[in-house]
Chains A and B, each alone.
Chain A
Amino acid sequence: MVSTAKQHRTPLARARGLGAAHHGVSHFIIERATSVALVPLCLWAVWAGLKLAPVGYEGAQSFFASPVNAVLAILLVLIAARHMSVGMRVVIEDYIDDTAMRIALLLLNTGVAGLFAALAVFSILKVALPGLAAH
């Protein structure tokens, strides 16, 4: 309810901080741009899964020693993490009414996606570049 006292403020001042901060547009675009990239990357990932499953540890190491495979895997991780964190954000915003809980879950979502993306990229690089990893 707009109180009488607040009607001295301009409509813009009343709207600030309450609604669209225009981040929604960038999320919309990120969701779609990443989805286009993920079509070929996920097809590659399924193929990679079929290649990796029967070959064991040494086979997996030599798979990621290929620069093409390592770069595609890193691209997949980064783009999938972005896509899923933006997608999960929409789910959280849709279903979680409580503001404190919503903010907590949004932070957790961003954190989990970022953490696991970083772990996966580091792991791929460590396997792809064994000379660089100190044991």
Chain B
Amino acid sequence: MSDSKPSAVVRPAPLSPHLQVWRWHVTMAASIATRATGIALYGGFLIIAIGALCLAAGSDAYADFTGIMGTFLGRLVLFGVTVSIFYHMAAGVRHLVWDFGKGFEPKTANLSAIVCFAFGLVAAIVVWIIALMTGAA
């Protein structure tokens, strides 16, 4: 390089540390769970869209759909979708609070992560208790 202007020094792009070298903590688990439940809800959306399609296709197709969702595996998937809805909802509200620059103190962030996990589980269990009591499950 003969020119006097400083040329751009190209370094390899910085990499964030891999999962294995992080100490496991609740905010990290909450972050991973937010993404994981988001991906799960992508699948949940497809299931519900197929349900709508079956309903539009007629009573036989709809009976097939409700039959499959009524099996143990189907209920397990739907329970997972319910947990994902409530967890992802709470995590989303947490992110909206962060967008206003609040809630980043380690104690607050740890607490809000625990609240999200608790809300996701408790709200889903309450919904399924209601479902069992009303004959929905």
Kindly count the residue-residue contacts between A and B in the assembled complex, taking CB atoms under 8 Å apart. 92
Q: Label chain A's interface by main secondary structure.
A: helix
Inter-chain contact B38/A87, CB cutoff 8 Å: yes
Q: In whole angstroms, how far apart are the Cα atoms of A51 and B20 in the complex?
A: 44
Q: In whole angstroms, how far apart are the Cα atoms of A1 and B14 in the complex?
A: 16
Q: Is A119 an interface residue (CB 8 A)?
A: yes
Sorting the interface of chain A by its residue count into under 10, 10 to 19, 20 to 34 or 35 or more gives 35 or more
Which residue from B10, B41, B46, B50 sits with its C-beta under 8 Å from A1? B10
Inter-chain contact B56/A122, CB cutoff 8 Å: yes
Tally of chain B residues near chain A (CB < 8 A): 37
Q: In whole angstroms, how far apart are the Cα atoms of A75 and B45 in the complex?
A: 13
Q: A42-B89, A53-B131, A53-B136 are in contact. Are A32 and B52 (CB under 8 A)?
A: no
> Closest 8 CB pairs between A and B?
A53-B136, A123-B56, A123-B52, A120-B49, A116-B49, A54-B135, A57-B59, A126-B56
Residue numbers of B with Cβ under 8 A of A are 3, 7-8, 10, 35, 38-39, 41-42, 45-46, 48-50, 52-53, 55-56, 59, 62-63, 66, 82, 85, 89, 92-93, 95-96, 99, 127, 130-131, 134-137
Enumerate 23 A-B pairs (CB-CB under 8 Å) in ascending A order.
Answer: A2-B7, A35-B92, A35-B96, A39-B89, A39-B93, A45-B48, A50-B130, A53-B66, A53-B131, A54-B135, A56-B66, A57-B62, A60-B62, A64-B55, A77-B49, A88-B38, A88-B39, A112-B46, A116-B45, A120-B49, A123-B49, A123-B53, A124-B56
